[in-house]
Amino acid sequence: MTATTDEPAAHRVAVLALEPVVGFDMTIPSMVLGAALTEDGTPRYRVDVCGLDPTGIRSTAGYTIVTDHGPELLATADTVIVPGTRAPGPRVEGIVSPELAAALATIRPDARIMSICTGAFVLGAAGLLDGRRATTHWAFADTFRAMFPAVHLDENLLFVEDGNICTAAGLAAGIDVCLHIIRA
């Protein structure tokens, strides 16, 4: 006989690693949110990493990761987090590829969407930050403003929460925004 419980399932978090992903940023959600427990020791969050390429995603630190999930994970996530990336489409051209646009389109309307550091360029390129307040790393603020003038950027904040979208400034600010999510 199996026991039943009224305990809600863990909040599902999908970390979307885009090549080349900033490895430190990618590990923050798993390390911080993955450590959050309920009073009885049950995990509050289930954190999984996904990517567009199942064969591997290069990092900026000289290693390649193979994720357990593809972009289909985004459709089931309560929160989607885009860590920092040097992907040329969003970072240089201000665009997302058709493959990335299709993946982002599967995110549920009620899901929280977050970025860490230069992950904000992905959200900006996808149009998700238009008319919203946001932040990114201060060193990239001028480039971000030039590429995404419809975004109200404030690079002097650690993180910005605007409705269902949260953006974090730099690497360690990703820790701060994850702690904010736990606290909230």
Statement: residue 90 has pLDDT above 60 = yes
In a domain, 156, yes or no: yes
In a domain, 55, yes or no: yes
> What CATH code is carried by the domain that includes residue 37?
3.40.50.880
Statement: residue 92 has pLDDT above 90 = yes
Q: What mean pLDDT is reported for the chain? A: 94
* Average confidence (pLDDT) over 77-101: 97
In a domain, 3, yes or no: no
* Average confidence (pLDDT) over 29-44: 95
Name the pairing type of β-strands 165-168 and 159-162. Answer: antiparallel
In a domain, 2, yes or no: no
Query: Is the CB of residue 156 less than 8 Å from the CB of residue 138?
Result: yes
Confidence at residue 184, expressed as pLDDT on a 0 to 100 scale: 86
Confidence at residue 86, expressed as pLDDT on a 0 to 100 scale: 96
Long-range contacts of 36-39 (CB under 8 A, 24+ apart): 36/182, 38/7
In a domain, 6, yes or no: no
Question: Which of 47, 57, 54, 45 is CA-nearest to residue 17?
Answer: 57
Statement: residue 3 has pLDDT above 60 = no
Angstrom distances, CA of residue 103 to CA of 92, 106, 154, 175, 179: 20, 6, 28, 25, 27
Statement: residue 2 has pLDDT above 60 = no
Statement: residue 82 has pLDDT above 90 = yes
Beta bridge partners of 147: none
**Rounded to two decimals, what is the model's pTM?**
0.94
For the chain, how many structural domains are there in total?
1
DSSP per-residue codes, 36-55: -B-TTS-BSEEEEEEES-TT
The pair phi, psi for residue 8, each rounded to 5°, is: -70, 155
In a domain, 56, yes or no: yes
Amino acid at 118: T
- Give dist(CA 163, CA 85) in Å, integer: 23
- Where residue 8 falls among pLDDT bands split at 50, 70, 90? low
**Residue-range definition of the domain harbouring residue 79:** 11-183
Counting residues of the chain whose pLDDT is more than 70, the rounded percentage is: 96
Using DSSP's 3-state secondary structure scheme, residue 14 falls into strand
Confidence at residue 7, expressed as pLDDT on a 0 to 100 scale: 55
Q: Does residue 1 or residue 10 have the better pLDDT? A: 10
- Structural tokens at position 92: 């240089």
**Euclidean distance between the first and final Cα of the chain, in Å?**
36
Q: Does residue 171 or residue 133 have the better pLDDT? A: 133
In a domain, 1, yes or no: no
DSSP per-residue codes, 120-179: HHHHHHTTTTTTSEE---GGGHHHHHHH-TTSEE-TTSSEEEETTEEEE-STTHHHHHHH
- Span 170-182, pLDDT tens digits: 889 999 999 999 9
In a domain, 21, yes or no: yes
